[in-house]
Chains A and B, each alone.
Chain A
Amino acid sequence: MTNHWVDIKNADVVLIMGGNAAEAHPCGFKWVTEAKAHNKARLVVVDPRFTRSAAMADYYAPIRVGTDIAFLGGVINYLFTHDRIQHEYVRNYTNAPFVLTDKYSFDEGIFSGYNEAKRSYDPSSWGYEKDKEGYAVVDPTMENPRCVLQVMKKHYSRYTPEMVSKICGTPKEAFLKVCEHIASTSAPDRVMTIMYALGWTQHSQGSQMIRTGAIVQLLLGNIGLAGGGMNALRGHSNIQGLTDLGLLSNLLPGYLSLPRDAEQDYEKYIESRALKPLRPKQMSYWQNYPKFHVSLMKSWFGNAATKENNWAFDYLPKLDKLYDVLQAFEMMGQGKMNGYICQGFNPLASFPHKAKLIGGLSKLKFLVVMDPLATETSEFWKNFGPYNEVDTASIKTEVIRLPTTCFAEEDGSLTNSGRWLQWHWKGANPPGEARTDAEIMAEIYLRMKAMYARDGGAYPDPILNLTWTYRIPNNPSPEELAMEYNGKALADVMSPPDPKNPKAPPTVLVPAGQQLPSFAFLRDDGSTACGCWIYSGCWPQAGNLMARRDNSDPFGIGQTLNWAWAWPVNRRVLYNRASADPSGKPWNPRHKLIAWSGKAWAGSDIPDMRPDAAPDEHVGPFIMTAEGVARLFTPTGMAEGPLPEHYEPFESPVTANLMSPKNPKAFSNPAARVFKGDMEAFGKPKDFPYAATTYRLTEHFHFWTKHAELNAIIQPEQFVEIGEELAKEKGIANGDMVKVRSNRGEIKAKCVVTKRIKALDCNGTKVHHVGIPLHWGFKGVAKMGYLANTLTPFVGDANTQTPEYKAFIVNIEKA
C-alpha cells in the first residue's frame, strides 16, 4: 500500500476493484465503513460477482473477468474527454509533459519493438527525446503531439463507453455512473483510494491492470494524499516483508537486484542501477544504490567483502532468466531439478494445473517440507482416492518433513500491507519437537559449512565466508537478526563535507559498533553493514521501534507515528510531497500530511522529500524515479508495453479482442511466457463456454484454515457458484452435485445457485461466470474436497509470472 489501513477513513471515494476487502480483509475494510459514516465517502465496487464488498457499496457495476484494462482505459478516456483531470498535479508531478522520440508507435495492439519469435519487446523505441545535456525534453504546454499526454489521449480515445460495454459486459449506463464517481475526485481537495488485491494480480496482464489504476489515480491527483493512493491489499501476513527482504528469484533485500549474465563487470552492474537524474535538480534516490549494495555485502560477508574483490561480487549468482515458481515446475517436469524445499508453502494447492505439479514433484530426488501443518504438498505421493489419484509405489521422491513453530510460539516482526513492521511475542512452546524456521535454516547451514570445510566441494567460498557471529550459532535470536538487517557502523561514520564550510573537519555521526539511525547513514566504502536498507531505522541504538505500542493519533487522521515502525524511515504515506501543491500548500487542508513552513517540510508524516528542499528548487515528489515525477508512460520496465492495453485472458469465453480484432497476435498478452505444451492445454470456448474465476471465502484463509476446527465447521463443504439463468439452462438446482471441467482436469462439488452472479452481454455473446471458491483439499479437519487448482491454467503475468487464476474457462454439468 502507498498508504495504510486506517488512512482509508480519509477517502472521499473508495474504489474496490480486483479485490473483495469485506470478505478477504474484514478488519481492514472497517475503515471503508468509517469513511462512509464519518467522511461522507462513496464506495464503488466493480466485480464479476456481487460480493459482500458490493453489498456495502453505494454503487456496484458488474464486469467480465479479465477485462479490467478495457474498463479503466475507458475511465481514462472519460477523464480526458470530460476534462476531469487535476491539471496542476498532472503537469508538475507526472511525465505527461515529457516528449517521446518519433520511433515510438502503436498499431493493432502491438507496440514498436516487438519480436514475435521471442514473444518479447525491445523497449528502446519507448524512450524520451533528450537534449544536449542528456536530460529529457519536456513541453510544459503539453501540446506537442509526441508528449506523453497527447500520446495517451490518442491511445485511450479508442476506449469509448460503447467499446467498454461490449468488451466488459458492463451496461454503458453503469460504466458512466462509475466514471462520474471516480471523476468527482479530480477536484484538488477530493481524494479517491483504490483498494485491489489478487483480482488484479492474478492475470496474464495483471501488472498492467494495476498500472492502469495508478494512471487513473495520477490523472486525478490522488497519489501521495491522505485517503488516496494505490493500495494493494496483500494476501499473507508477511508477504510484504518477504518481498521487501527480496526472497524472489531475481532480487536481493530492499529491492536491490541480482546481476544478469551480461553484467560481468561490477562497475557496470552498479552504474545501470544507480540511475542518474533525467531532469535537472531531481533526487533520483537510486543514485545511492552502491551504498545499499555494499552495506548488504558487508552484512553477509564481513571482512571477505573488500573493495579489491568488488565487495564479493562473484559470491552472488547471476541470472540468465527468471526462475519463478512456474519455471521451477516446468523444469521439474523436464527432469531438470533434483531437490525442492517448501518452507511454510503448499505449492500443490497454491499453483495452477495440479496434474502438472504432481508430475513435477514425482520426478524430484528429494523434497523437504518445513511447516507447522500437514500440507497436501508434503503428502503428494499418497493416494487419497479421487482427490489425489496417484500411484504411490512409482513415486521415487524422498520426502523429509520438518515440524515448525507457528506465530504463537515465536518472537519476531511481520510487515503488514501498510508497511508497518510489528513485533510479536511468544506465548507458549510448540507441540512435540517443532523448531523455528530460523533454527532449522541455521542447522542446515552449519552442517553444510562443516562439510565444505572438511571435504571441500563446488565453490565453497561464499558458504565458508558468510558472517555468523550469533551468540548461539545454531539458533540465532530474532533480536540479533533484526539488528542485523537494521545495520550498524563498522567504523566511525563521518559527516560529509559541508559545502558552506569545506575546510571544517568532519565529525563522527555514528560511532563504530553502534546501530544506524537510518539508511541516510549508509556508506559505499565498507564502513557500514546493513542487511536490508529499507528496514534501516527499525532498530536504532535506542532499541526496537517495531515493538512500540503508543496508539495516540495527535493529528486525528490515523497516522499513529509511534505505533510500531513503518518503512521507509517510519513514513506512513509514500510520495507525501505530492499532497501539497508546487508551492508547498496542502491540496486538502482538512487532511494535511506535510507542508512547506518557509524553512522545512513538516506535518503529520515523515516528509518524502529532502527536508530543506524549498519549493522553488523544483525537486519532484517522486524521488525514486530518475524523472522526479510519476510515470504515466513507462519508457522501461514493463514487458508488454509502455501503456496498458487490453488483451484477453489466455482462456477467454469470447473469440476476438475487440481492441485489435484484425490482429490475432494481439488476442492475449503478446509478451507473456507460455511453455511448450501449455498453449495446447488452453481450452476453447466451444468446449468450455463459461468464464471461471477462483476466490476465497471470508471464513477461510487459503488452505490453512481447513486444519482449524472452527473454520471447518462454519464452512464445511466444497461448493461452486453459478447464476440462476445458467442453472436453469443446465437443469441444475441449488444443492445439486456438479462436475466442473477445464482442459486440465475436473472437480466435483455442490452447486450454489445465486442471484449474485448475473449473465453479461459481451458484444452479443452471453457470458456466464462460474465461481470456484478455493480452500478444500485432501488434508485437514474439514470434509475432503478437490484442489481448485486442478482446473487453472499454467500461465502467468508477463512481468511477475503470477498465475492467471482469475480468468479461465470451464464447462459445468450435473454430476
Chain B
Amino acid sequence: MDMNRRQFFKACTAGLGGSSLALLGFSPQPVLAETREFKLSRATETRNTCPYCSVGCGILMYGLGDKAKNVAAEIIHIEGDPDHPVNRGTLCPKGAGLLDFVHSENRLKYPEYRGPGEKEWKRISWDEALTKVAKLMKADRDANFIAKTADGKTVNRWLTTGMLAASASSNEAGYITHKVVRPMGMLVFDNQARV
C-alpha cells in the first residue's frame, strides 16, 4: 500500500480507525516514521550559560530564524546542554523557567524618565536619556570632587555619586564598567558580592 501521510489520515477519517487499518497490515512505512515533526528541527541552536546561580550550567537556546539578514530571531525553547561537564543536560526549576525570563512582560523596552514628584514614567529617546545622565554626573562630580584633603593629601575622590554593578552581567561588561567608573574617582562602588 503506497500512500503518503495526508492520504493515510484521510483514509482514517473516512471511517476506518487508524489502528485497525494498521492491524490489517496496511501500515505505510512513511507514516510510522513520520509521526509529528519535531518543533526544534528547524530552529537555530545557540549555546549560552544560565544567568542565575554560580553553577554556570550550560544551556541550549533554540531560536526561530536562521540568522540571515532581515530575519529576526526569537528564542522559543531553552534546555540544559548535555555536553556541559557540570549540569550534563539538566536544569533546576529556576533554569527551566528561563524562557519566561527572556519573554517576561516586565522586560524594559525603552528609556524612561520620572521627574521630581511625578507619578508616572515618560518615554524618552536614548540620546536624551544618556545626555541627561552624563550631564547629571558631570555636574555632581565638578561640584563635589575632592582633589585634596584639608591636610593637603592628594585623594582625587568623588563620593556624592555611587554605583552598584551587576553580577549577572558578563566579565566584559564588568571590566568596562570598572574602567569607566574608577578613573572618575568613584569610591561608592560595589556589586552583589557584598550581599
Contact of A344 among B92, B154, B166, B193 (CB under 8 A): B166
| CB closest chain-A residue, reference B47 | A425
- A428 near B172 with CB under 8 A, answer no
Interface residues on chain A, size class: 35 or more
Interface residues on chain B, size class: 35 or more
A281-305 near B? 1/0 per residue, CB < 8 Å: 0000000000000000000110000
The interface-forming segment of A151-159, A168-176, A395-403, A730-738 is: A395-403
- B54 near A417 with CB under 8 A, answer yes
- Cα-based distance from A362 to B20 in the complex (angstroms): 74
Which of A242, A246, A434, A796 is most buried by chain B, counting CB atoms within 10 A of its CB?
A242
| CB closest chain-A residue, reference B188 | A323
Interface status of A491 (Cβ within 8 A of chain B)? no
- A337 near B161 with CB under 8 A, answer yes
Shortest distance between the CB of B173 and any CB in chain A (Å):
4
Give the contacts of B116-151 with A (CB-CB under 8 A).
116-119, 121, 126, 129-138, 140-142, 144-145, 147, 149
- B183 near A708 with CB under 8 A, answer no
Interface status of A431 (Cβ within 8 A of chain B)? yes
- B94 near A481 with CB under 8 A, answer no
- Cα-based distance from A5 to B129 in the complex (angstroms): 42
- B169 near A466 with CB under 8 A, answer no
Q: Which residues on the B side are within 8 Å of A401 (C-beta)?
A: 108, 111-114, 121
Which of B72, B112, B183 is most buried by chain A, counting CB atoms within 10 A of its CB?
B183
- B134 near A481 with CB under 8 A, answer no
A707-725 near B? 1/0 per residue, CB < 8 Å: 1111100100000000000
Contact of A429 among B72, B99, B112 (CB under 8 A): B72
- B73 near A481 with CB under 8 A, answer no
Shortest distance between the CB of B117 and any CB in chain A (Å):
5
B167-186 near A? 1/0 per residue, CB < 8 Å: 11111111111111011111
Interface status of A28 (Cβ within 8 A of chain B)? yes
A210-252 near B? 1/0 per residue, CB < 8 Å: 0000000000000000000000011111111111111111101
Q: Which residues on the B side are within 8 Å of A780 (C-beta)?
A: 106
Task: Decide if the interface of chain B is mainly helix, strand, loop or mixed.
Answer: mixed
Contact of A247 among B73, B91, B177 (CB under 8 A): B177
- Cα-based distance from A339 to B151 in the complex (angstroms): 27
Given contacts A5-B86, A324-B194, A407-B168, contact A426 B108 (CB under 8 A): no
Q: Which residues on the A side are within 8 Å of B136 (C-beta)?
A: 339, 365-366, 398
Which of A427, A531, A796 is most buried by chain B, counting CB atoms within 10 A of its CB?
A427
Given contacts A323-B188, A447-B134, contact A412 B106 (CB under 8 A): no
Shortest distance between the CB of A605 and any CB in chain B (Å):
15
- A417 near B55 with CB under 8 A, answer yes
Interface status of B37 (Cβ within 8 A of chain A)? no
Contact of A443 among B61, B130, B191 (CB under 8 A): B130
Interface status of B10 (Cβ within 8 A of chain A)? no
Interface status of A25 (Cβ within 8 A of chain B)? yes
Q: Which residues on the A side are within 8 Å of B155 (C-beta)?
A: 261, 317-318, 320
Q: Which residues on the A side are within 8 Å of B179 (C-beta)?
A: 300, 466, 531
Contact of A413 among B73, B78, B86, B170 (CB under 8 A): B170
- B162 near A236 with CB under 8 A, answer no
| CB closest chain-A residue, reference B94 | A701
| CB closest chain-A residue, reference B61 | A427
| CB closest chain-B residue, reference A452 | B138
Given contacts A236-B168, A264-B154, A802-B195, contact A398 B115 (CB under 8 A): yes
Shortest distance between the CB of A158 and any CB in chain B (Å):
32
Shortest distance between the CB of A14 and any CB in chain B (Å):
16
Which of A339, A342, A347, A397 is most buried by chain B, counting CB atoms within 10 A of its CB?
A339
- A27 near B138 with CB under 8 A, answer no
Interface status of B110 (Cβ within 8 A of chain A)? yes
- A448 near B137 with CB under 8 A, answer yes
Q: Which residues on the A side are within 8 Å of B31 (C-beta)?
A: none
Q: Which residues on the A side are within 8 Å of B116 (C-beta)?
A: 395-398
| CB closest chain-A residue, reference B102 | A408
- A482 near B113 with CB under 8 A, answer no
Contact of B170 among A238, A434, A796 (CB under 8 A): A238
Contact of A28 among B86, B94, B189 (CB under 8 A): B86
| CB closest chain-B residue, reference A321 | B187
- B138 near A451 with CB under 8 A, answer yes
Given contacts A324-B194, A345-B164, A427-B73, contact A6 B172 (CB under 8 A): no
Q: Which residues on the A side are within 8 Å of B144 (C-beta)?
A: 338
- B195 near A27 with CB under 8 A, answer no
- B130 near A339 with CB under 8 A, answer no
- A434 near B164 with CB under 8 A, answer no
Give the contacts of A494-524 with B (CB-CB under 8 A).
none
Shortest distance between the CB of A214 and any CB in chain B (Å):
18
Interface status of A435 (Cβ within 8 A of chain B)? yes
- A429 near B73 with CB under 8 A, answer yes
Q: Which residues on the B side are within 8 Å of A466 (C-beta)?
A: 179-180, 183
- Cα-based distance from A248 to B193 in the complex (angstroms): 8
Contact of B182 among A30, A317, A343, A707 (CB under 8 A): A317
Shortest distance between the CB of B98 and any CB in chain A (Å):
8
- B173 near A437 with CB under 8 A, answer yes
| CB closest chain-B residue, reference A535 | B171
- Cα-based distance from A198 to B189 in the complex (angstroms): 21
- Cα-based distance from A108 to B92 in the complex (angstroms): 47
Interface status of A37 (Cβ within 8 A of chain B)? no
| CB closest chain-A residue, reference B115 | A398
Contacts A25-B54, A239-B54, A441-B180 given; 12 further ones with Cβ under 8 A? A237-B56, A239-B193, A241-B171, A245-B175, A264-B154, A339-B136, A341-B164, A365-B136, A418-B86, A432-B108, A443-B126, A444-B134
Give residues in B with beta carbon < 8 Å to A.
44, 46-58, 61, 63, 72-75, 78, 80, 83-88, 90-102, 104-119, 121, 126, 129-138, 140-142, 144-145, 147, 149, 153-180, 182-195
